[in-house]
Structure 1
């Protein structure tokens, strides 16, 4: 049951709340997961984008501010990393006395406060501290501390804003802003954070700090760089925004991290979420997508005096098709031009096309390159102590990214932008020591992304909607088949060099620091080797010495299921690459509403 009464309708448009003589209207604008997508330009494909970017959000912010007398603009984290511009500034150009482009952009947009997400730490604490120091607004985080127990950032901040009620009476509204990040940052970025920072559970930190904040302010807004999942508390949960919303004293929640949109039909099945009202456990909430796809808007109606929330409206405004803000583009124009030049730097060549059009249904050279590069680097560093296997995954394979979100590199020259296209994140290289049984378990976890397929039924969806393709992380150097008819124990005929895999044998498995931390449900293991090379550096070394080629025959496949077929969605450009997967029985079925090309795969 809601903690508040609400006489407003949740909608994507409509009359703004106001007109009540004894009420105050506050508009909260929020961004999340911008990931350095400042300009409407895809540096990996060297072409403009028609959707997303903070430049488009800047235009939305201007419109939203014009509609309300009192607005605050907040960011929910993961702004610093995620595009070649982020890598260029961190690893190429450096700051060298210059303000970071994302800080310049956010200063220009007049943000009021922000929190940090997990990807803020990818470039190290010193670099992050320099960026935060150049911002003209405060950053907060309640559940990240230094090892001595002191706060890494202020736990909260209080913004005082003059407001007027419907009768024109002036009031000072004290707005408390508190922030949270996934506690898993200590695993994901262990190499740079261990011995320096510690984290606390999100909900536990809220219960500890919100009461004190509440005594200093009139309302509390939680910036939760955490997804929406589950009905109740789970200690150490990565996606804890729903449970956070139930903490007493929090008046509104901005969620993020999982790149979804709230309120939306995607959360219809979650009991604590009221999509029609825009609430989690009765608390107004919003999640504004990713890469500047949406601007989160929470309109609160407040009663002066006790400052109770008496009404609200929550929605996420799409930036799709909106012209980018020209002044914003001018602020970061030099950084954009430098990034374009940086992304063009030559690396080597490929003798075969590298794409991920069929990366969820068959081995592909683009994914094999990641595994081969990792295995070769591990072999060079560690020698012949144990057999070496490599992992590979398709980062860009549609899903939430849409029908253009696929790697598509023709045979020929390879530039730095292509390496970023193949491997989207600046993860560090890592090596794990795994038994044969653990290798088999790894493959089982990867194969779990597929739906269970009923034998004898045609055209069943192979994958759940918008499944994260980066969790389809297969270990190469083996041969096996995946039994889609089973819910568990799907890996069949697992062999190494033509012999059944010895479950007791030990292996060195080349992967990334991100996966070594157990992300995606993979069991975490202390790495035998962690860094200092990044995965992209490992790829570049491999391309320079061993240009990718079509390579060996497919090492994995689905078990045959006579009279059974599945469907999967890919890029419309895949129709021109069917010759690359001649072993698959594929039939194009047409274009979906979202613009994907749907195929039937006969099993």
Structure 2
């Protein structure tokens, strides 16, 4: 009986083969025939499934996979030939680390549910070590891409690319990652142990050679910004050099790029957190037996106008509830608001133009655990604040959004000043006569503006970049090149300064990861510190200030009033990530017709006097509402004219709340 069945099976197989040879191949296409393919991309989702910001425990209307999923469903219904790609920085931030020990991370589960075709790794995927990343990779149903990561044996860590065939069209998706991970993870080398990161510009040449003749369409999914970092080229330069790409998806920079042509390559970036979904539409046509791209177009779809997918919300409700419960745990009390006003003016963050209790508190924590003489910290979110009342875990995530660990290193005065010039002095645009606001360099992110505790200093923005840190003192004495300190800073900055040769990695004296393990992140230390203190009283030491800018133009109040009313806008960078990138200048506003030139207020050049040398025993006073300069002078027993001259005030009647005055000493 079994023999008979084998004979029948053999006969059936032969018949199928004959029929297959007789039927024309389904992959044979007539000349002029067209296929339309859509590529959708997300990037830098940073732990967001629900449209919810756990740092403030509040709903958002344009973030999360659940929002993006509604876009994806709509587009797939319109065109089944749709490819879905995520461009990395997926499992970090927004309380995602709470689920690092899950067998399959919720963010990976969400991508599986959405049926992603590819996932390119981002630099923040390496924040938690290779065990966490390994579980994420294992749990992903989508192929993992990053061509430029190599293991010690010379093989690639994950896939360099994938090829998906759609109606006979072979679409290659190439994945790359920024190669600066060793720079940022320098303090935790186990996070990338045994891995080498190759410059994506160089690796692109290799991958394109490997793909030669294998694909009709090549899509680049690069966790890399349009512009480069640390002297390396960005994605725009790579696209310009390789027109073989049909389109390229940028990431990492959190930019909104709906589409731009770079030497024939269509370049897009979908911002971050699910705020946008990039859509690329390709039309291909058969010509001479080949598929040729005859049309391509792109746009960024704003998720704000889409509902949050109810199916996804239901699937992840338990995770959402757990995250909300965690962030609302009370860890202590706060006696007063850290900031009375988040913005000096709408669009100008207070904490980036003057010393505040907010950054002083972060530095206080860092100095407490390291025992360092000096500490440096940046404010990662310019809208951060902590209000009087309960201090909750979400407040920690609000003021310190990244997963950095804490380091301390021995430095001398020369190294300290070089660091300060690079990460404090160069952040500001140079003052010009007529400016009534202080502004920031549009090419520098706020997280690269460090504020220092333990030293007193001034930033003279009338001076050239590299010469702006003046009157630098430590315990009342000028800082010389030879004097040595212990400096506290996060691992991200430690790695960058080491790579730049500003500090020596061998001079490391403290590492919170070595001391506390996975509980050694700065966030964890802030929680620990608050729990130990129980009650936090915000204080500001006013140890730094910006000088070299005479903002007291007679029309300053008028300009400020116009900003508050919305009649004037504080300019932001093109990608929206850096606020306040150009000073409001009275002379310019008059020329542009935006400001009436009252009699006696014609634009005239204003001379700038050199920054005064502040004595070692410097005393400062922060102006409060209702203060008058003559009252302050009387309070300190000094001459009004002397006080005005010492602070370079052209008009003694024009001071403003929050302004820090230096009080001359006998």
C-alpha separation between the residues in 2 aligned to 1:570 and 1:179?
45
Pairing 1:175–2:171 present: yes
C-alpha separation between the residues in 2 aligned to 1:299 and 1:351?
55
C-alpha separation between the residues in 2 aligned to 1:360 and 1:48?
27
2:623 is aligned to: 583
Which of the numbers 386, 391, 411 marks the counterpart of 1:434? 411
Which of the numbers 248, 254, 259 marks the counterpart of 1:259? 254
Label 1:502 to 1:281 Cα distance change in 2 as closer, same or farther (>3 A).
same
The answer on whether the counterparts of 2:70 and 2:307 sit within 8 Å (CA) in structure 1 is yes
Label 1:540 to 1:460 Cα distance change in 2 as closer, same or farther (>3 A).
closer
2:52 is aligned to: 41
1:555 is aligned to: 543
Shift of 1:531: 3.3
1:425 is aligned to: 402
* Greater alpha carbon shift after TM alignment, 552-561 vs 204-213: 552-561
Secondary structure of 1:409's counterpart equals coil
The answer on whether the counterparts of 1:30 and 1:297 sit within 8 Å (CA) in structure 2 is yes
C-alpha separation between the residues in 2 aligned to 1:150 and 1:564?
63
Pairing 1:243–2:243 present: no
**Greater share of residues in helix:** 2
Shift of 1:37: 1.5
C-alpha separation between the residues in 1 aligned to 2:276 and 2:475?
49
TM-score scaled by length of structure 1: 0.80
1:120 is aligned to: 125
C-alpha separation between the residues in 2 aligned to 1:365 and 1:280?
45
C-alpha separation between the residues in 1 aligned to 2:397 and 2:283?
45
The answer on whether the counterparts of 1:365 and 1:549 sit within 8 Å (CA) in structure 2 is no
Label 1:411 to 1:184 Cα distance change in 2 as closer, same or farther (>3 A).
same
Gaps of 5+ in 2: 1-30, 344-349, 514-519, 567-620, 628-655, 661-666
Label 1:30 to 1:519 Cα distance change in 2 as closer, same or farther (>3 A).
farther
- Please show how residues 128-143 of structure 1 align to structure 2 within 5 Å: 128-143=133-148
1:388 is aligned to: 373
Pairing 1:459–2:459 present: no
Which of the numbers 507, 510, 527 marks the counterpart of 2:485? 507
- Please show how residues 26-105 of structure 1 align to structure 2 within 5 Å: 26-84=37-95, 86-90=96-100, 94-95=101-102, 97=103, 99-105=104-110
Pairing 1:200–2:198 present: yes
The answer on whether the counterparts of 1:177 and 1:221 sit within 8 Å (CA) in structure 2 is yes
Determine which structure has greater relative contact order: mean sequence separation of CA pairs < 8 Å that are 6+ residues apart, divided by chain length. Answer: 1
The answer on whether the counterparts of 2:358 and 2:385 sit within 8 Å (CA) in structure 1 is no
Q: Structure 1 stretches (4+) deviating beyond 6 angstroms? A: 519-522, 565-572, 584-587, 599-603
Across the aligned residues of Structure 1 and Structure 2, the Cα RMSD in angstroms comes to 2.9
C-alpha separation between the residues in 2 aligned to 1:325 and 1:241?
34
C-alpha separation between the residues in 1 aligned to 2:626 and 2:207?
56
Gaps of 5+ in 1: 1-19, 163-171, 264-274, 380-386, 398-405, 573-580, 588-598
C-alpha separation between the residues in 2 aligned to 1:118 and 1:256?
10
2:511 is aligned to: 530
The answer on whether the counterparts of 1:391 and 1:511 sit within 8 Å (CA) in structure 2 is yes
1:15 is aligned to: none
C-alpha separation between the residues in 2 aligned to 1:494 and 1:235?
27
2:210 is aligned to: 212
C-alpha separation between the residues in 2 aligned to 1:531 and 1:284?
44
C-alpha separation between the residues in 1 aligned to 2:386 and 2:659?
27
Label 1:463 to 1:238 Cα distance change in 2 as closer, same or farther (>3 A).
same
The answer on whether the counterparts of 2:243 and 2:265 sit within 8 Å (CA) in structure 1 is no
C-alpha separation between the residues in 2 aligned to 1:519 and 1:395?
18
Label 1:128 to 1:534 Cα distance change in 2 as closer, same or farther (>3 A).
same
C-alpha separation between the residues in 2 aligned to 1:543 and 1:83?
21
Secondary structure of 1:518's counterpart equals helix
Secondary structure of 2:427's counterpart equals coil
The answer on whether the counterparts of 1:104 and 1:331 sit within 8 Å (CA) in structure 2 is no
The answer on whether the counterparts of 1:365 and 1:548 sit within 8 Å (CA) in structure 2 is no
* 1:174-215 CA-partner distances (Å, limit 9, x unpaired): 211111111101121231245421110101001011221233
Secondary structure of 1:307's counterpart equals strand
The answer on whether the counterparts of 1:246 and 1:283 sit within 8 Å (CA) in structure 2 is no
Secondary structure of 2:140's counterpart equals coil
1:411 is aligned to: 388
2:578 is aligned to: none
Shift of 1:517: 1.5
Label 1:114 to 1:284 Cα distance change in 2 as closer, same or farther (>3 A).
same
2:475 is aligned to: 497
Which of the numbers 295, 312, 322 marks the counterpart of 2:306? 322
* Greater alpha carbon shift after TM alignment, 234-243 vs 348-357: 234-243
* 1:271-325 CA-partner distances (Å, limit 9, x unpaired): xxxx6xx222220121000011100011112233322322110211111242211
Shift of 1:341: 1.0
Secondary structure of 2:512's counterpart equals strand
Which of the numbers 366, 373, 385 marks the counterpart of 1:374? 366
Which of the numbers 162, 165, 172 marks the counterpart of 1:160? 165
Label 1:235 to 1:366 Cα distance change in 2 as closer, same or farther (>3 A).
closer
TM-score scaled by length of structure 2: 0.73
The answer on whether the counterparts of 2:66 and 2:313 sit within 8 Å (CA) in structure 1 is yes
Secondary structure of 1:444's counterpart equals helix
- Aligned length, in residue pairs: 518
1:447 is aligned to: 425
The answer on whether the counterparts of 1:201 and 1:236 sit within 8 Å (CA) in structure 2 is no
* Greater alpha carbon shift after TM alignment, 179-188 vs 66-75: 66-75
Label 1:216 to 1:80 Cα distance change in 2 as closer, same or farther (>3 A).
same
2:293 is aligned to: 309
Label 1:346 to 1:153 Cα distance change in 2 as closer, same or farther (>3 A).
same
Label 1:100 to 1:150 Cα distance change in 2 as closer, same or farther (>3 A).
same
Shift of 1:552: 4.4
| Larger Rg computed on CA atoms | 2
Secondary structure of 2:352's counterpart equals coil
Secondary structure of 2:174's counterpart equals strand
- Please show how residues 338-349 of structure 1 align to structure 2 within 5 Å: 338-349=322-333
* 1:239-294 CA-partner distances (Å, limit 9, x unpaired): 3343245325322100010000113xxxxxxxxxxx6xx22222012100001110
